[in-house]
């Protein structure tokens, strides 16, 4: 990762998985951090760890489906560090199941977080990123390129996110803002232990670690 010394980065979904790993990496490269997620206890532990290592970091509760939460996270960046240069729209989860089993509400819930959550995050921070001629990173998925059985809701959401990121890249290029779409495959995270309501089930084993 490039040197982000002097830059301020906001990461949604920073309490676990990709968001948590990115927070550590951004801190390692010198960025000041605003960490946002629903689970503030985990965010506070991560902030304590990073600041003990010399990083500058603050956190705040943020549900990307709740009006005002992303705006408060952007305000926290301005109040704490005076600017916002990098936004990582990472918050998301996976609704799984066959089409005949899933309801329209399941699909709506999936899009509310994975698609509109990204769009809301962009809208809430775009003025700051414009001023900084900064960067937006959208965390997509390989499922935004290839769909598999039982993943229609998740794949649809990630195909939509891919389209949003590609369009934003073209729209914002002239302003000096870069847009990066990241499409990971399987990674170490809790996504496979989160149910279709978006609730973490601690007791559920991670299938990626099964023999």
State the average pLDDT for the chain.
90
* 62 within domain boundaries: yes
Residue 200 in any domain: the answer is: no
Give tens-digit pLDDT for 123-168: 999 999 999 999 999 999 999 999 999 999 999 999 999 999 999 9
Closest CA to 162 of 210, 209, 115: 115
CATH number at residue 164: 3.40.50.720
Global confidence as pTM: 0.87
In a domain, 53, yes or no: yes
Mean pLDDT of all residues in 80-95 = 96
Task: Identify the active-site residue in 4, 93, 154, 159.
Answer: 154
Residue 183 in contact with residue 155, Cβ under 8 Å?
A: no
- Let me know if residue 209 belongs to a domain: no
Does 3 map to a domain?
Answer: no
Q: State how many domains the chain has.
A: 1
Residue 154 appears among annotated catalytic residues: yes
Q: Is residue 2 domain-resident?
A: no
Domain carrying residue 121: 8-195
Q: At what angle do helices 116-132 and 69-81 cross, to 10 degrees?
A: 30
- The string of pLDDT tens digits covering residues 19-62 is 999 999 999 999 999 999 999 999 999 999 999 999 999 999 99
pLDDT tier for residue 195 given thresholds of 50, 70 and 90: low
């Amino acid at each position: 990762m490039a040197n982000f010394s002097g830059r301020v980065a906001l990461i949604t979904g920073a309490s676990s998985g990709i968001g948590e790993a990115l927070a550590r990496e951004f801190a390692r490269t010198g960025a000041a951090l605003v960490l946002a997620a629903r689970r503030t206890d985990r965010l506070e532990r991560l902030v304590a760890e990073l600041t003990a290592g010399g990083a500058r970091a603050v956190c705040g509760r943020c549900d990307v489906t709740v009006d005002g939460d992303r705006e408060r996270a952007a305000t926290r960046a301005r109040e704490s560090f005076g600017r916002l240069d990098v936004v990582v729209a990472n918050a998301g989860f996976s609704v799984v199941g066959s089409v005949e089993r899933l309801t329209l509400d399941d699909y709506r819930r999936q899009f509310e977080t994975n698609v509109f959550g990204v769009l809301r995050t962009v809208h809430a921070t775009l003025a700051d990123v414009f001023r900084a001629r900064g960067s937006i990173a959208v965390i997509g998925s390989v499922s935004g390129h290839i769909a598999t059985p039982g993943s229609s809701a998740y794949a649809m959401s990630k195909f939509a996110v891919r389209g949003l990121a590609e369009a934003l890249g073209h729209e914002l290029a002239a302003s000096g803002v870069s847009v990066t779409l990241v499409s990971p495959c399987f990674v170490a995270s809790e996504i496979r232990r989160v149910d279709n309501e978006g609730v973490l089930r601690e007791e559920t084993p991670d299938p990626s670690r099964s023999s």
